Amino acid sequence: MIRLDHVTVTYPGVPEPTLRDVDVTIPEGELVLVTGRTGSGKSTLLGLLNGLVPHFTGGHVQGSVTIDGVDTRRHPPRELAHLVGVVGQDPLMGFVTDTVEDELAYGMEQLGTPPDLMRKRVEEALDLLGIADLRRRPLRALSGGQQQRVAIGSVLTAHPRVLVLDEPTSALDPTAAEEVLAAITRLVHDLAVTVVLAEHRMERVVQYADDMLLLCGDGAVHQGSPGVLLADAESVPPVVRLGRYAGWSPLPLSVRDARRAAGPLRAALAQAEAAAPAPVRDCRVRRPALTAAGVSVRHGQLVAVREVDLTLNDGEVTALMGRNGSGKSSLLWALQGSGPRSAGTVDVDGADPRDGSSARRRRLVGLVPQTASDLLYLETVAAECASADRESAVAKGTAGSLLDRIVPGLGRDLHPRDLSEGQRLALVLAVQLTAAPRVLLLDEPTRGLDYGAKLAFGNVVRDLAGEGRAVVLATHDVELVAEVAERVVVLAEGEVVADGAVAHVMGGSPALAPQVSRILAPSPWLTVADVERALAASSAPPHVSQVTQ
Amino acid sequence: MSGRRARWGLERHLHPGAWWLWAIGLATAASRTTNPVLLLLLIAVVSTVVVSRRSDAPWARAFRLYLWLALLIVVVRVVFRVLFGAGPGGTVLLGLPEVGLPAWTSGLRLLGPVTAEAVLAGLYDGLRLAAMVVCIGGANALANPKRLLKAMPGALYETGTVVAVAMSVFPQLAESVLRVRVARRLRGDRAGVRTGVTAIRSIVIPVLEDALERSLRLAAAMDSRGYGRSGQATPLARRVTATLTVGGLLGICIGIYATLDGSSPRYLAAPLLLGGVLAAGAGFVLTGRRVNTSRYRPDRWRTGELMAAGCGIATGVLLWASSWVDPMQLYPSLVPLGWPTVSWLPLVAVLVGVLPAVLTPRPPPDPGAGSGGAALGSVDQQPVTEPATRAPQGVR
């Protein structure tokens, strides 16, 4: 179905080719997962498949790409529209019309599909993706998962043979991600659509993938089955890491497979737990840094946050979770004082951050918003740092040294827009930390970060908490929460529905439990590191399965 | 009641073009008379139809603004007549002193005695313009602008796409300005520290970068979905079609003006209008031939549409006809002053315009409007609701 024949892509002004001598064949009806670090050429690879590279982006392509026998060199993307459907990272940006039904029909209108057939296909797509009840709704009023499904439906109506998806679940909460993935797998199974999908959140997708393309960052692409490729990849989902640690073979890719193999490990862990009690995470009594009582936020008719009482403690990392639209962002903005708050009190060091100037507010509570780049507007990293020093009235170079601590050696004359997602997040974090706030709120910070960047970010967060700051992390990423946070607060419809230690809140939850916890339930372990520590403490041999076999 | 429903169809939205034809017919009628009785009746007719056949959409609720605008027009007209006075003679209502103006403003007077003739002339004139504005407002309230855009001929397809994209981009732009402005506060902006150019720059640059990225993404998405697949025209063909279309549209404009303005030369009216229509039509057909797109659920012309458009056109034509029969009725005399009278032909003409209020199908209730709670995602789990199952109505 898809054939890349010794393809090399070079962009002007970049000395090294982004993709080098890629030779890949993808048969019909496969689900192929594309992974690799940020900047390793994933987007370029996806763009090749419908001719956006080079027809739209420019650049020089050697070799040939053929889709179902059609050469993309001679056909621009619009002439491949009936063959390849592409869904971009942010579906909202790719919507042309403004209601669900019109959007589903748009592609077919371009292809000149007869109205009768169009009508039928729209109804089919509505059913296939489970969005029939949304048909007349405006696209902007949909939730992220619904938008993603509409975007998939809007390319499906043209009946493409290949579906290309760029990060389809990155921005979604776990449940919405499940819905989108269920729709995708149904297409692969029932309609024999070939799906090529790039995703940083590998743990969500890898179990469905038939094949995997691993981009190494030097332009080379490895093709192979996920089980083989992940055996020695550097960034892997927790289930694979646990499998590697325990020496399971073949390497499990899904929780179900891992659970089957995990019997001996669970027994060993139970022994270890009996010998030395489970490591209860740091639970000494802490001083409250921020106390919120009865906080409510109202946007017009909509009550986004309803009478929330919350205490954030010094040196504690709190994860704020809940589905899209459950009021997480509204709560963070209200706590910081810059957002609206219709009722309740917030107290930081005896002061309400809402009173007083925004500069003073910033010294009490720092907030990194969801679109962090909104805070950046200057031409260079150095200028942003200098401006941050001035804004916080601190000694020159404070922001710069903070930045060096987070990402050492970041080029000072780079343009902030040219940084990778992780570097840009680090820069905004440094800018906000310049004011030395006692409380730091982070809204969806790991969106678009790859495994490596996420790991680095996790370390930074732990360091910040170690210095005594209260850190709040609003996120959908359960694995990150398991790694970093000590406490989880779950919001639903603006109300706190759970507040407690990570193991208690996430352990038994069907949606929020991290992979390791699902594999080892009912034991309270959440991460591979926890397991390693527990077994090391009880001096049990690491390769449990081999010993017991 | 039920019999009529079965006859005129289930609830559905009418083709927007039908409402526009209806409104243009009524506006033409309004332009041919200054009789206040007829004009007030016409405004009442339009309001009745709008109230009984409009949907819950935002553009439908804007009708009230047009009524206010109409009132403003009448008031301004009358006030101007009083301010600049009328000529000598006539029935004086109020003896205001005249303000002396220099000689070079010969002919212009300020204030002076207010005569009934002047006030009435202003009132009649203003009412005529007001009635036309209300007609246009009625069309705006009844016709869905997005569906109108979709009903455009193929030749205007690309223009239509530009307008459609722009309509969705402006709210996004406003949203991103708002978001960045709020985000600026997180960096400790306060008055005095950052003013003027820097303040604007700190908002404009992120917003523009955002907008640029959005438009690039949108362009890529449209390209991948087949926008602009149809063939390209040769430069010569493009020039010919452009000349035909633009020339034809100009001809139509002048022709319509001459037709509506009874005092312009007759050879500018019908011949130019007809020639313009032919030229523009030819241009549209030629351009449309290049566009190979199809339309999803196109609005069709059915009995309801024909009724609405027919009633509007009938009003215009009947009133026009009555101007040959009895022109004095349509332009009530000011000198000497007399009560306006109305005979049966113009009266029937105007009253025909109200028929669409009962002869056309009602609009369906709007299920999607104002779904503010959607952002919560709480609507996700709702079962397929009734409007969705009722969807196939209105086609076929």
* Alpha-carbon dihedral angle through residues A47, A146, A319, A198, given to the nearest 10 degrees: -20
Say yes or no for a CB contact (<8 Å) between B378 and A493.
yes
Question: Does the CB of A392 have a partner CB in chain B at under 8 Å?
Answer: yes
C-alpha of A454 from chain center: 9
Say yes or no for a CB contact (<8 Å) between A339 and B182.
yes
CA distance A81 to chain B (A): 5
CA distance B309 to chain A (A): 25
Q: 464-523 in A: which are within 8 Å (CB) of B?
A: 493
Closest in B229, B294, B368 to A78, CB measured: B229
Q: Which residues of A167-179 are buried (b: 16+ CB within 10 A; e: fewer)?
A: bbbbbbbbbbbeb
Closest in A97, A143, A300 to B164, CB measured: A97
Say yes or no for a CB contact (<8 Å) between A362 and B187.
yes
- Which residues of chain B are within 8 Å of residue A302 when distances are taken between CB atoms? 372-373, 375-376
Of residues B270, B241, B243, B275, the one with CA closest to residue B257: B270
Contact B374, A143 (CB under 8 A): yes
- Which residues of chain A are within 8 Å of residue B375 when distances are taken between CB atoms? 141, 143, 302, 325
Spatial CB neighbours of A481, under 8 Å, sequence gap ≥ 6: A319, A321, A473, A475, A488, A502, A506, A514
Test mutation, B149, B225, B293, B389, chain A, max A CBs within 10 A? B225
Contact B240, B248 (CB under 8 A): no
Q: Note every long-range contact of B56-60, with CB atoms under 8 Å and residues 24 or more positions apart, other chains counting.
A: B56/B365, B56/B366, B56/B369, B57/B144, B57/B366, B57/B369, B59/B140, B59/B141, B59/B144, B59/B145, B60/B141, B60/B142
Q: Note every long-range contact of A493-498, with CB atoms under 8 Å and residues 24 or more positions apart, other chains counting.
A: A493/A306, A493/A326, A493/A327, A493/B376, A493/B378, A494/A296, A494/A297, A494/A303, A494/A304, A494/A305, A494/A306, A494/A308, A494/A326, A494/A327, A494/A330, A494/A331, A495/A306, A495/A307, A495/A308, A496/A308, A496/A309, A496/A310
A·B CB contacts under 8 A: 212
Of residues B56, B334, B216, B31, the one with CA closest to residue A417: B216
Contact A152, B328 (CB under 8 A): no
Name the residue ranges covered by the structural domains of chain A: 2-234, 237-278+523-549, 288-522
Say yes or no for a CB contact (<8 Å) between A115 and B167.
no
DSSP-derived secondary structure letter, A351: B
Residue B228: closest C-alpha in chain A: A78
Q: 72-101 in A: which are within 8 Å (CB) of B?
A: 76-82, 84-86, 88, 90, 93-99, 101
Say yes or no for a CB contact (<8 Å) between B209 and A417.
yes
Say yes or no for a CB contact (<8 Å) between B219 and A56.
yes
Question: Does the CB of A451 have a partner CB in chain B at under 8 Å?
Answer: no
- Which residues of chain A are within 8 Å of residue B170 when distances are taken between CB atoms? none
Of residues A225, A261, A229, A256, the one with CA closest to residue A245: A261
CA distance B286 to chain A (A): 18
CA distance A372 to chain B (A): 9
Say yes or no for a CB contact (<8 Å) between A376 and B387.
no
Per-residue pLDDT of chain A (549 residues; tens, 9 = 90+): 899 999 999 998 888 899 999 999 999 999 999 998 887 888 899 999 989 988 888 889 999 999 999 999 888 898 899 999 999 888 888 888 888 999 999 999 888 889 999 999 999 999 988 889 888 888 888 888 889 899 999 999 999 999 999 989 887 888 888 888 998 998 899 889 999 999 888 888 999 999 999 998 888 999 999 988 888 888 888 999 999 988 888 889 999 999 999 888 888 888 887 776 555 555 556 789 999 999 999 988 889 999 999 999 999 999 999 888 888 999 999 999 988 899 999 999 888 988 888 888 888 999 999 888 888 888 889 999 998 888 888 888 889 998 988 888 888 888 888 888 888 888 999 999 998 899 999 998 887 788 888 888 999 999 999 999 999 999 989 999 999 999 999 999 999 999 999 988 988 788 889 999 999 888 888 899 888 888 887 665 555 444 443
Structure tokens at A265: 């490990």
Of residues B42, B8, B10, the one with CA closest to residue B26: B42
Please determine, looking at this structure, whether the domain spanning A288-522 carries the CATH number 3.30.390.30: no
Strands (E), A239-381: 288-299, 302-313, 317-321, 343-348, 365-368
Say yes or no for a CB contact (<8 Å) between A369 and B186.
yes
Interface confidence, given as ipTM, is: 0.84
- Which residues of chain A are within 8 Å of residue B371 when distances are taken between CB atoms? 137-138, 141
Full-model pTM: 0.78
CA distance A470 to chain B (A): 18
Cα(A168)–Cα(B215) distance, integer angstroms: 20
CA distance B61 to chain A (A): 19
Residue A185 φ then ψ, to 5°: -65, -30
Q: Which residues of B82-107 are buried (b: 16+ CB within 10 A; e: fewer)?
A: beebbeeebeeeeeeeeeeeeeeeee
Structure tokens at A464: 């910040």
CA distance B146 to chain A (A): 10
- Which residues of chain B are within 8 Å of residue A369 when distances are taken between CB atoms? 183, 186
Residue A302: closest C-alpha in chain B: B373
What is the third-level CATH fold of A2-234? Answer: Rossmann fold (3.40.50)
Question: Does the CB of A158 have a partner CB in chain B at under 8 Å?
Answer: yes
Test mutation, A113, A302, A360, A374, chain B, max B CBs within 10 A? A374
DSSP-derived secondary structure letter, A521: T
> In DSSP terms, which residues pair with A298 in a beta bridge?
A303
Say yes or no for a CB contact (<8 Å) between B168 and A362.
no
Per-residue pLDDT of chain B (396 residues; tens, 9 = 90+): 444 444 556 888 888 889 999 999 999 999 888 888 999 999 999 999 999 988 877 778 888 899 999 999 999 998 888 887 666 667 777 777 777 777 776 666 777 777 888 888 889 999 999 999 999 999 988 888 878 877 777 777 777 778 777 777 777 788 888 888 888 888 876 544 455 677 777 788 888 888 888 888 888 898 898 887 765 667 787 788 888 888 988 988 888 888 777 677 777 777 888 888 888 888 878 777 777 778 888 878 888 889 899 999 999 998 888 887 777 777 877 777 778 878 888 888 889 989 988 888 888 876 544 433 333 333 333 333 333 333 333 333
Cα(A37)–Cα(A413) distance, integer angstroms: 24
Say yes or no for a CB contact (<8 Å) between B186 and A114.
no
Closest in B203, B228, B296 to A102, CB measured: B296
Cα(B283)–Cα(B242) distance, integer angstroms: 7
Closest in A56, A136, A145 to B223, CB measured: A56
Cα(A248)–Cα(A84) distance, integer angstroms: 38
Closest in A80, A90, A141 to B374, CB measured: A141
Say yes or no for a CB contact (<8 Å) between A376 and B206.
yes
Amino acid at A365: V
Residue A110: closest C-alpha in chain B: B293
Structure tokens at A340: 């609206």
Cα(B275)–Cα(B271) distance, integer angstroms: 6
Say yes or no for a CB contact (<8 Å) between A136 and B368.
yes
